[in-house]
Each structure stands twice: as C-alpha cells, then as structure tokens.
Amino acid sequence: PLMADSAGVRRSQPIFITSNSFFRVRRESFSSSVPSIPNPFPELCSPSKSPVLISSLPPQSSDKHLIKVYSEDSHSRSVWVSSAATAREVCHMLVQTAHCSDQENWALLEVHPTLGLERCLEDHEVVLEVQASWSIKSDTRFVFCKNYAKYEFFRKPMLFFPECMISDSAEAVKGTTPSTLIQNLLKSGACPEIQGFLHLKEPSRRSWKKVHFFLRRSGLYSSTKGSSKEPRHLQYVADLEGLNVYSVVNSRKLYGAPTDFTFCIKSSRSQVRSSDLKMMCAENEQTRRCWTSALRLFKHGKQLQCNYQLSNSAPLTPTRLEGKRLTESTSETSLVAMDFSGKAGGRVIQNLAEAQSAEQEEGQAWRAQRREALRCSLPNLSSGARPSSLHVSQPWFHGGVSRKEAQRLIEKQGLVDGMFLIRESQQHAQCFVLSLCHKLKIKHYLVIPCEDGGRKYFTIDDGLTLFIDLLQLVEFHQINKGILPVCLKHPCVCVVL
C-alpha cells in the first residue's frame, strides 16, 4: 500500500562524486616508481606506441584507397593509393616495395583472364578510374610486369609502321614521303592515315570477314567496297577519344580467330562485356603492332611524347648506375671499329670487309685466351665436376618453364630486339635453352654442356666458344653477337610482390 512521505524516511538522491586527490596521487606515485621498459622493436609500432603494425592500418587521409596488384607468378600485394594516383606513380611505388634492381620499363597491365584481354595502362592514366569501369563479378586484375615495347616505336618507328600502311591524309602535304609522315605521326599523332586489311569478327557469330580499314583523326572507318576511300563507301566504326585497345591472348581457342595476331577495341566508358568488343585480326605481328600503336598515338597525341620524355629523364639511382651496361646506354649505330695495332694510336676502320675481318680475329683470340685461362684457373676439377649454379639466382633464368610459356612471357614484356631468357630444356637432359627475340619473332638456341680437357663447359656454337657457366655465356653475348642475330639486351624478368 502507498504510504505518505514522512520526515523519517530518506530516499536515494543522485550524488555528484568529485575526483579524489588522494587516489590520484597514489596512482601517479606508483607509476613513477615503476621503471619504464624500452620497446625493443620501435620500428614495428605506430608513432603512438601502439602494438598494431603500421602497414595493417589504413592511412590517416580518407583520400587513400586500397587496390590489389598481381605479379606474373599470381602472387598479389595490396597497396594504398590516392584517388588521383597515375599508373606511373603506382609502378614507382611497387618498384620500391618489391626492391626491384631497376626502375625502367615497368608497367601496369589491365588483364581480363576470362575474355583473354590485356592492355598496358598509359603512364598518365588514373588507376582508380580504370578500376571503376570493371564489373564487380569479373576476375579483372592489375598485373605488374616489364614492358620494353611501351615506347619502342619512338626509337625505331620504321619497324612499327610499314610504308605500305602509311598514306597521305587531308591534313598532310601531298607528296610527303612515308618516313616524314611517320615522324609527323610521332610528333603530333594525327597527320598521316593508316590503312590496311584486317579480319573482323561478325557480331554474335564466330565467323570472320576481311575488311579494309582507315584510321584518321576523326575516327576509325571501314570500307564497304574493297579498299575504296569514297565517302559513300566509308562506314564509321569507332570514336578514338573514348577507345581502349586490348591485345587478345589465345584468340584461336576463345574466338575462333584465323591467326594469333588479334586485338580488340571497346569504349572506355562502359564495362568490359564480350558483346561490346570489336575483334580484329591481323596477318602478322608487325601489322598488329602498327594498328595498336597508331590507335594509341591518335588517341593520346602529344601526351605519349611527354610520357616518353619523362621516362627517359628519370634520375638514375646508384643501383641502376652499377647495372647499366654499354649495350643499354650506348646506341649500336654510334659504335665504330677501331684498330690499335699501330704505334701512332688508334684509327677508325672505314672499310667494312677489314672491320669484319678484325672482328673475327679478335673473337678467335678471345676464345683462345679464355680456354687457356680456364685450363690454368681450374687445375683440380675432376671430369665429373658439375658446372656452376650461379645462374639460378639471375633474373633472366626461369627454371623449367615450357617453350610456350617462355614465348608468352617474352610477348607480354614487349617483343623487342635483344629480349631474352634462359630455361631448362624439357627434351634434352642437362641442357638449357636460350630464347631470344629478334624482329618480332622468338628464336630458341640449345645450350649444350660439353667437356674439354676433363672439365665441363657450355656452348651454343658446337664447341667453338666455351663458357664455364651460363652467367659467363650471357655476359659475353651482351657485348658480342657471336652466332646470335642480335646481342642480349633486355632480360625477361618476373618480379615477386
């Protein structure tokens, strides 16, 4: 029952509790009496001395975004990038993270494994904008790898643009030579006209038909009547401004292409779907290179020239200076044959036959000296001694990869002259194979172990030149061609992230 409040009943009331100075003094005196223990691993903790690793925490700025980048061995690494980070900046970040020995010719690829599409991002492209165009359910990824051919058409334009595919346009001066048109193309990106036949995949079908195409500043056109340029026979195909160009891997199996030299174009504003792809197939690799390079130049114009100059003006680090070789820093066309046999000093050999004879004599003398040095330096080795295994740690050695995989690696990293790798032979025991790119084709040379004077060597010219290990073989052919069509210049490198 309810009872009336009486004076003797005291009900609970909220009480404000003030801080007790006595306990605070006790706590402070206790903490001051305990000696502080130094952190033995300060570099593993955040600035606030938290035991949580810095790398596992998101950055302080909300402008940072997390992306995943794969290497060619399918390993991946997640990195924080800003919303305006370009492909060049992300590559520089990955070079530092992966402790790469050099900073040149690295690229970020946009790869669609299911569709077999690959595209090298331009250095000025914003990475997050490219990623925003992907479908959530797709298996699209970024791949970090070497690409020696990104700006190769600036160095050797005549190899990329055959004269038969270059013609005058309305903007060019009539009668201009093809070489001048190519130079104008590299400088302005719009003067000449690219033309030629390509196989075009018909929509929603596996059949292909041969069509004559024209590439101009206004866009890509196809002729409905042979190779006619008349306006009534030209059909508009695509706009260059919002266009992305992809190379197609395994196009014969995926799309029934007549050759392996397939590429496709699609709008950069839409997601990648097989129904939106315009598949085109060339007769050879040079024709495909011409079309894809011209599409890049017509789309980006002088921006590619700026990217190329920026890549060449990058400062050399001490590691890169140590690894820089004569064949990389000096053009082959600037080398001359010299004769130092006279008393008056060296002279330049003008006669081509005399220069070739001097080269052969020098090579034979080098082989004789090398064989004699090897016999004197290895007196205690038995005939059963195994050759050196220093090649295992070299970036150009790829173990037991197959012939097809070796060709795929070289194709992905550029198909430039002098690009090479060494692998174990799958058909011949204890042998190796030197895979070398020359004139857009990959050639394979068998490296055979042999014995001379009870010692084991390697040779690729039937014993004419002997090497104690693969490292010496590579270093020799980086300076001398020997039986190879070109010196070894660019190692095919696979970095592990």
For 45-106, give the secondary structure using H, E and C: CCCCCCCCCHHHCCCCCCCEEEEEEECCCCCEEEEEEECCCEHHHHHHHHHHHCCCCCCCCE
CATH topology of domain 64-146: Ubiquitin-like (UB roll) (3.10.20)
How would you write the pLDDT of the chain (497 residues) with one tens digit per residue?
Answer: 444 544 555 555 665 555 555 445 444 544 455 556 666 665 555 444 444 444 445 555 568 899 999 998 888 999 999 999 999 999 999 998 888 877 788 999 999 999 999 999 999 999 999 999 898 888 999 999 999 999 888 888 888 888 888 876 544 455 566 667 677 666 655 567 889 999 999 887 889 999 999 998 889 999 999 888 898 999 999 888 888 999 999 999 999 999 999 999 988 877 777 778 899 999 999 999 999 999 998 888 888 889 988 888 755 444 443 444 434 444 445 566 776 666 555 677 777 777 777 776 766 665 555 555 444 444 343 444 445 677 888 989 999 999 999 999 999 898 999 999 999 999 998 899 999 999 889 999 999 998 887 888 999 998 888 999 999 999 999 999 899 999 999 999 888 77
Alpha-carbon span 121 to 98, nearest angstrom: 20
CA atoms within 13 A on the CB side of 361: 9
Structure tokens at 412: 């992905």
Q: Looking at the chain, which residues constitute the CATH 3.10.20.90 domain(s)?
A: 64-146
The dihedral sign for the CA sequence 271, 274, 278, 279:
positive
Where exactly does CATH 3.30.505.10 map onto the chain?
A: 403-491
CB proximity list for 132: less than 8 A, separation 6 or greater:
none
SS3 262: strand
Alpha helices of 333-391 — where are they, by DSSP H?
352-377
Confirm if 186 and 166 have CB atoms less than 8 A apart.
Answer: no
What does the block give as tokens for 392? Answer: 């295992």
pLDDT in tens, 209-244: 999 999 988 899 999 998 888 989 999 998 888 889
pTM for this entry: 0.70
CATH class of the region 151-312? mainly beta
User: 422, 434 in Cβ contact below 8 A?
Assistant: yes
| Angle 432-435-441 from CA coordinates, rounded to 5° | 155
Cβ–Cβ under 8 Å, residues 270 and 276:
yes
What pLDDT score was predicted for residue 305?
86
Residue 220 has which token pair? Answer: 């890509």
Q: Please tell me the predicted confidence (pLDDT) of residue 101.
A: 74
How far is residue 194's CA from residue 172's CA, in Å, rounded to a whole number? 13
In degrees and rounded to multiples of 5, residue 103 shows phi and psi of: -115, 10
Contact 235, 221 (CB under 8 A): yes
Query: Could you give the count of Cα atoms lying within 13 Å of 397 in the half-sphere of its Cβ?
Result: 14
Q: Are the CB atoms for 304 and 189 separated by under 8 Å?
A: yes
Distant-in-sequence, close-in-space partners of 311: CB < 8 Å, separation ≥ 6: 104, 123, 151
Give bridge partners of residue 120 from the DSSP assignment: 109
Query: What per-residue confidence (pLDDT) applies to 369?
Result: 56
The CATH H-level (homologous superfamily) assignment of domain 403-491 is SH2 domain (3.30.505.10)
